[in-house]
């Protein structure tokens, strides 16, 4: 057990600041292939007794597997967005199931765990927090990618889609822990699962800051000059981004529970118990995401209620001024009629008296409405 006790420290990077770009692998994003690599293969290496077997050059998958079958160990192949033709040879070499191969090439899959005769096929959604100076109605908050993993008795294959979520730094950290790598492909699968879920935690923390900012803006008094409706657009955009995050988190919970609870031939028993810790962290993130969605619903309803109240206040003000203007309109309408005999029509002080009475009535109405909160 002492050999596994430091597992989490070995595979987890230090968590970045939530308000900064969340690089969930702890390193730079690998958005292009190595110019020296003529195919989708990013790295291919043989590991024996927990150490990488150095060959002095980049091995082909066929050469690596031939070494493993001859001398033991396992091969770890990393690919980035392979085409069907590029992946066909590897699928044939390792006997991968055609349905899993189709999913790995086409991408856009939901997180899942599928068991085939001699391998496990696991799909992870990687999530990257997009840093922004100010949240707007069109801001992109989260960006997703995919990592597909084929776990066999003597091989581990990762197929990555998207411009972020490189596993290069994770591979280097695992190579610094030979005792862990000696456990075989299941140790690599756990490291990737833990790595992805740690990224979820960091993204959830960053999203919490965005939600706090929106909540503060919605309920802050005296936001004069801010056009009505802008907060609703920001809230709705944030809800869309959280929905994207939820699609990555929620479906992964069941696969992690299966890996932690059900004995599997390809998963080392010493490694399996650590999947329970990954599942626990995933449950926590899922609860956060559900809470985010409910909180944003409440904030959106409050914002709409505030807009409705503001509209009612505007209507009361318009109605109040209409009532005030109605008095001189009525008086002018009466005296604008062409009659020869009207009260005080020929009186010297009739005109100023009517004006004075009209002004006094208007002032009285204004004072009454203002005292009642309509103006």
Q: Can you tell me the mean pLDDT for 329-333?
A: 81
What are the structural domains of the chain? 41-307 (3.30.460.20), 311-372 (1.20.58.340)
192: which 2 tokens?
Answer: 């990737």
∠ CA 40-156-283, rounded to 5°: 105
Per-residue pLDDT, 197? 95
pLDDT tens, position by position, 258-305: 998 888 888 988 898 889 999 999 999 999 999 999 998 888 888 877
Q: Say whether pTM exceeds 0.85.
A: no
Per-residue pLDDT, 252? 94
Residue 147, Cβ density class (10 Å: 0-12 exposed, 13-18 middle, ≥19 buried)? buried
pLDDT tens, position by position, 73-96: 999 999 999 989 889 889 999 999
pLDDT tens, position by position, 21-76: 333 333 332 333 444 444 688 889 999 998 999 877 778 888 888 999 998 999 99
């Amino acid at each position: 057990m002492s050999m596994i006790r430091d597992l989490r420290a070995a595979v987890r990077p230090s968590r970045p600041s939530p308000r900064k770009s969340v690089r969930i692998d702890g390193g730079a994003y690998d958005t292009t292939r190595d110019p020296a690599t003529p195919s989708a293969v990013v790295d291919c290496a043989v590991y024996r007794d927990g150490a990488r077997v150095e060959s002095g050059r980049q091995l082909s998958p066929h050469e690596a597997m031939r070494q493993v079958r001859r001398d033991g160990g396992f091969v770890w192949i990393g690919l980035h967005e392979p085409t069907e033709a590029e992946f066909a040879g590897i699928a044939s070499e390792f006997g991968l199931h055609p349905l899993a191969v189709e999913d790995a090439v086409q991408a856009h899959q939901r997180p899942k765990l599928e068991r085939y005769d001699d391998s496990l096929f696991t799909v992870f959604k990687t999530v990257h927090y997009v840093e922004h100076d100010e949240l707007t109605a069109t801001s992109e908050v989260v960006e997703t990618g995919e990592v597909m993993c084929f776990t066999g008795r003597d091989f581990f294959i990762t197929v990555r889609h998207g411009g972020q979520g490189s596993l290069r730094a994770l591979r280097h950290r695992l190579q610094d822990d030979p005792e862990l790598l000696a456990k075989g492909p299941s140790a690599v699968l756990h490291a990737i699962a833990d790595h992805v879920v740690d990224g979820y935690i960091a993204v959830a923390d960053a999203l919490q800051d965005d939600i706090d900012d929106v909540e503060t803006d919605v309920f802050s008094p005296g936001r004069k000059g801010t056009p009505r409706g802008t907060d609703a657009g920001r809230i709705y955009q944030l809800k869309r981004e959280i929905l994207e995050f939820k699609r990555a988190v929620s479906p992964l919970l069941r696969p992690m529970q299966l890996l932690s609870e059900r004995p599997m031939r390809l998963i080392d028993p010493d490694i399996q118990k650590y999947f329970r810790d990954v599942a626990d962290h995933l449950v926590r993130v899922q609860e956060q995401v559900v809470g985010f969605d409910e909180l944003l619903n409440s904030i959106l309803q409050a914002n709409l209620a505030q807009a409705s109240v503001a509209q009612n206040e505007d209507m009361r003000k318009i109605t109040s001024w209409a009532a005030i203007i109605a008095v001189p309109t009525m008086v002018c309408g009466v005296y604008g009629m062409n009659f020869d005999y009207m009260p005080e029509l020929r009186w010297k002080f009739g005109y100023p008296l009517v004006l004075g009475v009209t002004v006094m009535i208007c002032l009285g109405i204004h004072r009454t409405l203002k005292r009642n909160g309509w103006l």
